[in-house]
Every structure is written in C-alpha cells, then in structure tokens.
Structure 1
Amino acid sequence: ASRPLESIALAALGYRALSLSPAAIGPVKSTLLRLDVEAARAVLLPLLADTTGTVDVRGALRAFAEQSGLLL
C-alpha cells in the first residue's frame, strides 16, 4: 500500500489501517484525505465483479483518481 493508487483500492475495499514505509506516508496520506471512499467503492466493486477477465482495474482506478483531482 505504499503507492497512492493502491491505497485508493484498499480504502475502497474497506481497509482502514495500512502499513507504509516512512517515505510513502506523505503521498498516501494526501491522497486518502481527499478521497471520496464511497465514490471509489462505486467504481471498484463493479470492476471486481466482472467475470470476463478483460477489465483494466488499474486503468479505471487511475482514471477515477484523475477525474477526482487526486495526485498520483
């Protein structure tokens, strides 16, 4: 969870405690403080429910983050 994009996914899945290296605390904290967790969950859960195996979860989360003004 040392990268902001992955921290968005974990927060959307319900994780509320993350283990981070000291260097990652600032960027991840900045992202999570501005994150609308419910909006992230609304994006992530349908992607995870897709059974086709063709969904780009990382790309969709990156697009969500950019649209939300989150710096990655």
Structure 2
Amino acid sequence: MADVVEIPRARGRGHADALMRWVVVEAQRLNCEAIHLDSGVGADRAAAHRLYMRNRFDITAHHFSRLPD
C-alpha cells in the first residue's frame, strides 16, 4: 500500500479513515499476516502520518536512499 491522498474538497469527511478500516477488514478476511504501508517524509506528509497512526499503524523502519554523485 502507498500513501493515501484525498483531493482537498473531500478532506475532513472521514473518507480516508473509512478506507483504512476497509483495508484492515479486507486483510483480516484474506487472512493476511500484516499490512505494510510506505509513506514519504516531510512536513507535507504530516496529515497522512497522523491518519496512519490514528489507525494503529506503527513506524517500523526507515528507508534510506541516495542519488549518485
């Protein structure tokens, strides 16, 4: 799963939380062992990170990358 992004006029209506609840229920239905979600970093991702933590996702890793010189 990758970042969840809503269009501005749809924000604040609970759509993203409903989607996260559906993902969890669907994963349970499919007997998944875990749900993994990748998210970018930066101040512009703060709302997304709050969404994930509010829905009981934990930060379990850091991803490092480097561009060649």
Give the TM-score normalised by the residue count of structure 1. Answer: 0.28
Give the TM-score normalised by the residue count of structure 2. Answer: 0.28
More helix by share: 1
**Larger radius of gyration between Structure 1 and Structure 2:** 2
